[in-house]
């Protein structure tokens, strides 16, 4: 549908939304200052941070975005809004870091926790940037670059130690060595589950397609598995595995027990099946369609068909299934600490147990970042592997 805007007289509503969100953010505390880990925080708004540069930068950027919302939305104006959004995010983070360091200087246990004002500001920046990226005539590579900037702006100062006053960072330092190994295990287990599901799922999808008698039971079964709540599936794995481990010493010897990695890995693999089976099935259905007829019509040999038609079509579809499964597996792995397997989720549950919200944030952030990065990364890969004629912009 074409928009009925004429000559930019109507304001751009997404930008206005971003400005309003940032306006609300200014009224909320940017961070809370805490004497120690469990102390109640004292809220500090942006205007109370004592960082004049930050206050001025944020106000100017909000004003600028507000004005640009009413300008005709040319490509240049959109890029200006994207830049304003990126700068807004950076200013908020720098103000937080500078003011936080000053506040905790000379104390031993004090720390600052980013508050609603900061998170709303992040959302406002996202709305400004993303809203302007859509209308702009932007190449996909430029979109990726813009998307990466906020992460660079966060990671570089974090590694350089400039964000050390932030409470989640302090929680991280307290568990640095464990964090790295938990992250490794989390990745390894998610990957193993998806790999297992691919090895089982693709043939299962082929069987379901080839034999109509198998189709319904296969899909009923794996649909059913997906329906079972993750915690329940983990729980249901415990009893049978404990039984097997008790009865067969060989299994016990290789470390299969009722709790721990074995039940978690089995449950995660079962969960990862559905998207992979479904997409393997779909890819066959697509291949068997008219594309193959066209290939035959062109006189392609069996190997040529496989090489130029079937594989290029099937691989992206199967990979899309793997993408959904991987993102799901990363999220489900986060529940696994409850059945005695460690991993990143352990920090989350520890944080909840100890009433330490900063630890929760510290545990959740890597899981969320992992999901988002893996999702985007696979989307880009799938788009690159798709035959040019079938290619769509990654979503």
Residues that bind other proteins (CB under 8 A): 1, 3-4, 12-14, 17, 116, 126-127, 130-131, 134, 224, 226-236, 238-239, 242, 258-259, 327, 330-332, 334-335, 338-340, 345, 348-349, 351-352, 357-358, 360-361, 363-364, 367-368, 371-372, 375, 395
Whole-number Å distance between alpha carbons of 98 and 88: 15
Shortest distance, position 341 Cβ to other proteins, whole Å:
11
Minimum distance, C-beta of residue 325 to other proteins, in the bound complex (Å): 13
Tokens of 322: 């793997």
Q: Which is nearer to other proteins, 135 or 312 (CB)?
A: 135
Please give the Cα distance from 270 to 221 (Å, whole number). Answer: 10
Which lies closer to other proteins via its Cβ, residue 309 or residue 327? 327
Nearest distance in Å: CB 130, other proteins? 5
Q: Report in angstroms how near the CB of residue 306 gets to other proteins at its nearest.
A: 33
- Which tokens hold the place of 144? 């990726």
Q: How is residue 210 written in tokens?
A: 């080839």
**To the nearest whole angstrom, how small is the minimum distance from the Cβ of residue 329 to other proteins?**
10
Is the CB of 149 or the CB of 259 nearer to other proteins? 259
In the bound complex, what is the minimum distance in angstroms from residue 233's beta carbon to other proteins? 7
Nearer to other proteins, 202 or 348 (CB): 348
Confirm if 338 and 233 have CB atoms less than 8 A apart: no
* Shortest Cβ 298–other proteins spacing (Å): 33
Comparing CB distances to other proteins, the nearer of 256 and 314 is 256
**CB 336 → other proteins: shortest distance, Å?**
10
Q: How far is the CB of 203 from other proteins (least distance, A)?
A: 26
In sign, the C-alpha dihedral spanning 270, 185, 328, 231 is positive
- The answer to whether 218 and 207 are in contact (CB under 8 A) is yes
How many residues does the structure list for the chain? 395
Nearer to other proteins, 368 or 390 (CB): 368
For other proteins, the closer CB: 41 or 54: 41
Q: Which of 314, 116, 282, 152 is CA-nearest to residue 215?
A: 282
Give the SS3 label for residue 47. helix
| Nearer to other proteins (CB atom), residue 127 or residue 319 | 127
Q: Helix H segments across the chain?
A: 13-27, 52-70, 75-104, 116-135, 140-159, 167-174, 176-210, 212-227, 230-247, 249-253, 261-287, 290-297, 302-304, 311-333, 345-354, 357-385
Classify 337 as helix, strand or coil. helix
Q: Which residues pair with 29 in a beta bridge?
A: 45
CB of 319 to other proteins, least distance (A): 16
79 or 349: CB nearest other proteins: 349
Nearer to other proteins, 312 or 331 (CB): 331
Q: Which of 265, 89, 116 lies closest to 185, judged by CA?
A: 265
- Report the Cα 82 to chain-centroid distance in Å: 22
CA distance 250 to 228: 30
Nearest to 196 by CA among 291, 284, 270, 114: 270
Per-residue DSSP letter, 166: B
């Amino acid at each position: 549908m074409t928009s009925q805007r004429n000559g930019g007289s109507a304001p751009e509503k997404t930008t206005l939304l971003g400005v309003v969100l940032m306006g609300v953010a200014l009224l909320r505390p940017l961070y809370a200052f805490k004497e120690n880990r469990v102390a109640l925080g004292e809220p500090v708004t942006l205007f109370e941070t004592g960082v004049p540069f930050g206050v001025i930068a944020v106000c100017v950027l909000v004003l600028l975005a507000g004005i640009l919302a009413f300008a005709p939305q040319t490509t240049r104006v959109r890029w200006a809004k994207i830049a304003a959004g990126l700068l807004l995010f950076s200013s908020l983070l720098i103000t937080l870091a500078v003011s936080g360091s000053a506040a905790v200087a000379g104390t031993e246990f004090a720390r600052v926790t980013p508050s609603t004002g900061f998170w709303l500001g992040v959302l406002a920046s996202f709305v400004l940037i993303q809203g302007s990226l859509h209308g702009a005539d932007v190449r996909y590579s430029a979109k990726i670059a813009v998307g990466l900037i906020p992460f660079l702006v966060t990671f570089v100062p974090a590694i350089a130690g400039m964000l050390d006053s932030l409470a989640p960072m302090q929680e991280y330092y307290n568990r640095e060595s464990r964090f790295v190994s938990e992250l490794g295990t989390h990745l390894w287990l998610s990957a193993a589950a998806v790999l297992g599901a691919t090895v089982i799922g693709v043939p299962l999808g082929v069987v379901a397609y080839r034999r109509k008698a198998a189709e319904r039971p296969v899909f009923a079964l794996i649909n059913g598995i997906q329906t079972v709540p993750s915690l329940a599936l983990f729980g249901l794995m415990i009893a049978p595995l404990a039984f097997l481990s008790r009865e067969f010493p060989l299994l016990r010897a290789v470390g299969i027990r009722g709790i721990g990695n074995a039940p978690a890995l089995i449950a995660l693999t079962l969960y990862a099946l559905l998207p992979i089976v479904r997409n393997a099935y779909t890819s066959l259905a697509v291949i068997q369609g008219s594309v193959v007829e066209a290939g035959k019509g062109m006189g392609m040999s069996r190997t040529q068909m496989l090489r130029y038609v079937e594989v290029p079509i099937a691989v992206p579809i199967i990979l899309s299934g793997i993408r959904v499964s991987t993102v799901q597996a990363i999220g489900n792995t986060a529940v696994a600490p409850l059945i005695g397997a460690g991993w990143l989720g352990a920090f989350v549950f520890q944080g909840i147990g100890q009433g330490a919200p900063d630890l929760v944030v510290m545990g959740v952030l890597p899981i969320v970042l992992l999901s988002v990065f893996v999702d985007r990364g696979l989307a880009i890969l799938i788009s690159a592997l798709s035959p040019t004629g079938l290619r769509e912009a990654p979503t």
